[in-house]
Structure 1
Amino acid sequence: MVYEELAGEEDEVELPRGDVTERVVRVGSTVRRPVHPPSAAVADYLKHLEEVGFGGAPRFLGRDRAGRDVLDFLAGEVAGDPPQAWAADDELLASVGRLLRQLHDASEGYAADRGFAAPPGSRWFRWPSPSSSESSAVVAEPAPELVAHNDVTPQNVVVRDGQAVALIDFDMAGPTARVEDVVNTATHWVPLRAPVDTWPGWSRTRQPVRLRLFADAYGLTAAQRASLVDVALARADRMWLSMRGAAEHYGGGWAQMWHDGVGDLIRRRRAWLVDRSDDLRGALE
């Protein structure tokens, strides 16, 4: 699918780089991104979301003359890295929970109809295992229920008038379970992390209250609430190994994050989850 350039779409404006994705630019009303192995699967997923009426994701418009993916540019405010204090607003957190639920509901049809299959010659993002013997300790992922974003960080949410309205950067989209994606999103937005790693202007004590707010906004069932803390603990174990594996096998930004101490951050998060587990479970009851 070739994108037909429009008049005036010549000037490129570099957009903030992510941890692992570079050379993303805005051209007029579009965003241009380098093609990578999951691109075809992501494009197929974005087309599905458009077809079912989910308005919280960019449309895939094709490939430009330079071979880059072309997507809609979604206007709004996006948090920086580290995210500013305004991103810690409770109403914004609730709106993220509602947007995530809308995405998951829109994605179930894709999962049921397509069986998580990526188009021929493409694949979803996958976490590699580390080369060491520690890889044998990887905790099994929950059985997939749908395809989802899998990286709903403050830097990947478009905000307008204090409300989350859209998600961007679907590079890590793929099969997952609802609670798994809920936990991943809450990790960044509640946030579920040790006080020493919590960003300036973000609460270091109200996490149980904010987790309840997020769970209520998403509409978690009683069973999902009961499993959430255990899922978070298992995910912390798995993510330490996954991030180490990505650093070893993918290099680049993944290796830089590992060098900068993301493995230690994950271990501090797990210790904090154990320490606050009763408070977190109680808030979800």
Structure 2
Amino acid sequence: MGEGFIPDQHGRFDVRLPDYVWSDQALIHLGGLLRSYHDAASSFPLNGRHWRLEPRKPIETICHNDLSPWNTVFRAGLPVAFIDWDAAAPGPRSWDLGFIAWRWVPFWRDEKCEAHGLPKGVPEKARRFQLLVEAYGKNPEIEIMKAAIERVRQMLQHMRDLATSGSAWEMELDQRGVLDEGALEVAWMEEYARELVLPPGATS
């Protein structure tokens, strides 16, 4: 355990991923792939189904609920499929979109971006956010940002609960400061939410 953690600040910035994960083309393909999945899942019959997670309203599709790079299959550097469906549950499209935006744009502080070798600054993140949501077929919206903030906050609380209960992986993340870093990312999203949804060159 612990293999691959970026050594900066004792692994606080999580593990390093291959460079192809962060390409603009990967982000565009990701948005299109998510839209195709959401459209297909929107007609899935819900009656009599039982879900590991509580369904979330408004119900528009079946959300994956954990679309990280680890749960994505790549081919030639581009995302082509999703795996690990145990957390799937009915919910709004923005629930998945917000989570993906946080994890893949990514909505990280400059210090973490620098540690991963990624571009810094709100304008760059706004540009990539627009690439993602336009590939999905939407425009950047404050509702997606609100969903991202709530979804990440919920996830962090779940991971803290697991750490408290003695789960080894979450305990390690907590000890390294990864969960504290996540809380700072939530605060970062709250601070810059409106700037992130503005068109390029626009001012609030």
Normalised to the residue count of structure 2, the TM-score between the two structures is: 0.78
What is aligned with 2:47? 115
1:209-252 CA distances to partner (integer Å, 9 max, x unpaired)? 000000100112x6x72312222233343333222223234723
1:63-121 CA distances to partner (integer Å, 9 max, x unpaired)? xxxxxxxxxxxxxxxxxx421222111011000011011111111121xx123713xxx
* Change in 2 beyond 3 A, CA 1:248/1:226: same
Task: Give the deviation of 1:125 after TM superposition.
Answer: 4.7
Cα distance in 2 between the residues matched to 1:273 and 1:116: 37
Greater mean deviation of Cα atoms: 234-243 or 145-154: 234-243
Q: How many residues align?
A: 185
1:123-143 CA distances to partner (integer Å, 9 max, x unpaired)? 5257xxxxxxxxxxxxxx654
Describe the SS at the equivalent of 1:164: strand
Describe the SS at the equivalent of 2:73: strand
1:5-64 CA distances to partner (integer Å, 9 max, x unpaired)? xxxxxxxxxxxx9xxxxxxxxxxxxxxxxxxxxxxxxxxxxxxxxxxxxxxxxxxxxxxx
What is aligned with 1:218? 136
Cα distance in 2 between the residues matched to 1:174 and 1:116: 13
Task: Decide whether the 8 Å contact of 1:98 with 1:218 is kept in 2.
Answer: yes
What is aligned with 2:69? 154
The correspondence for 1:101, drawn from 35, 57, 60, is 35
**Does residue 124 of the first structure (1) align with residue 52 of the second (2)?**
yes
Describe the SS at the equivalent of 1:100: helix
**Does residue 245 of the first structure (1) align with residue 173 of the second (2)?**
no
What is aligned with 1:180? 95
What is aligned with 2:193? 277
Task: Return the letter of the residue paired with 1:281.
Answer: V
What is aligned with 1:42? none
- Structure number with higher helix proportion: 2
Task: Decide whether the 8 Å contact of 2:28 with 2:132 is kept in 1.
Answer: yes
* Change in 2 beyond 3 A, CA 1:254/1:102: same
Task: Return the letter of the residue paired with 2:27.
Answer: L
Cα distance in 1 between the residues matched to 2:75 and 2:183: 34
Describe the SS at the equivalent of 1:91: helix
**Does residue 82 of the first structure (1) align with residue 4 of the second (2)?**
no
**Does residue 92 of the first structure (1) align with residue 34 of the second (2)?**
no
Root mean square deviation, CA, Å: 2.7
What is aligned with 1:48? none
* Change in 2 beyond 3 A, CA 1:252/1:142: farther
Task: Give the deviation of 1:193 after TM superposition.
Answer: 1.5
Task: For structure 2, list consecutive stretches of 5 or more residues without a partner in the other structure.
Answer: 4-14
Task: Return the letter of the residue paired with 1:92.
Answer: A
**Does residue 197 of the first structure (1) align with residue 108 of the second (2)?**
no
Task: Give the deviation of 1:150 after TM superposition.
Answer: 1.4
The correspondence for 2:81, drawn from 166, 170, 175, is 166
What is aligned with 1:266? 182
